[in-house]
């Protein structure tokens, strides 16, 4: 529709940027580099500026029947990580919830009211020996999370010979 209306010979807009229509200033390159680092570093990161989110209070809870019992608490460090949620370092099989107090964090960043005052992430643990990494990407009006790279191959996959 807009091709005919504006007289374009080809679509300038796609799901990815068309390099023919994209011009980066030095500030654009720097901002993109910071954002790419933030997204690839798998930490609590603010998407607005791509740096780790420092000082967010995080509470770890375990579901017991229909109630939640707090079992750990910590604050994100200069790398956007919390390594102090459990004293043992392992989680028993069960259902857990992480609560991030992002309202306080956003207020410290200059936002008077946070649209999402907190983020709750509920997840299951089946294998207590498994490492869990749950990155949280933040912006003033949204957030995203996923299970980070914690893949540990089974022993039979590690010992495969070249002829398999």
Q: What is the CATH number of the domain that holds 110?
A: 2.60.40.180
Residues of the domain holding 131: 53-145
Q: At 27, list the tokens.
A: 């500030």
Residue 31 lies in a domain: no
Residue 63 lies in a domain: yes
Percentage of residues in the chain having pLDDT higher than 90: 21
Residue 9 lies in a domain: no
Query: What pLDDT score does 148 carry?
Result: 73
> Lowest-confidence range among 7-16, 54-63, 149-158?
149-158
What secondary structure letter does DSSP report for 92? Answer: -
Look at residues 113, 122, 117 and name the one whose alpha carbon lies nearest to residue 138: 117
Residue 87 lies in a domain: yes
Look at residues 77, 143, 148, 81 and name the one whose alpha carbon lies nearest to residue 106: 143
Statement: residue 15 has pLDDT above 80: no
Backbone angles phi, psi at 60, to 5 degrees: -105, 130
Residue 90 lies in a domain: yes
pLDDT of 64-79, one tens digit each?
Answer: 999 999 999 999 888 8
Domains in the chain, number? 1
Mean pLDDT of the chain: 76
């Amino acid at each position: 529709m807009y091709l005919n209306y504006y007289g374009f010979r080809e679509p300038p807009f796609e799901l990815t940027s068309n390099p023919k229509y994209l011009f980066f200033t030095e500030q654009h390159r720097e901002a993109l580099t910071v954002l790419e680092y933030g997204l690839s570093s798998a930490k609590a990161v603010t998407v607005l500026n791509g740096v780790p989110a420092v000082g967010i209070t995080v509470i770890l809870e375990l579901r017991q029947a229909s109630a939640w019992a707090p079992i750990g608490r910590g604050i994100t460090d200069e790398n956007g990580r919390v390594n102090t949620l459990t004293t043992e370092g392992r989680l028993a099989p069960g259902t857990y919830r992480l609560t991030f107090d992002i309202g306080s964090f956003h207020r410290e960043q200059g936002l008077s009211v946070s649209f999402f005052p907190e983020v709750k992430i509920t997840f299951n643990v089946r294998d207590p020996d498994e490492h869990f990494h749950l990155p949280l990407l933040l912006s003033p009006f949204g957030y995203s999370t996923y299970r980070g790279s914690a893949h540990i191959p089974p022993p039979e996959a590690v010992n495969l010979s070249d002829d398999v």
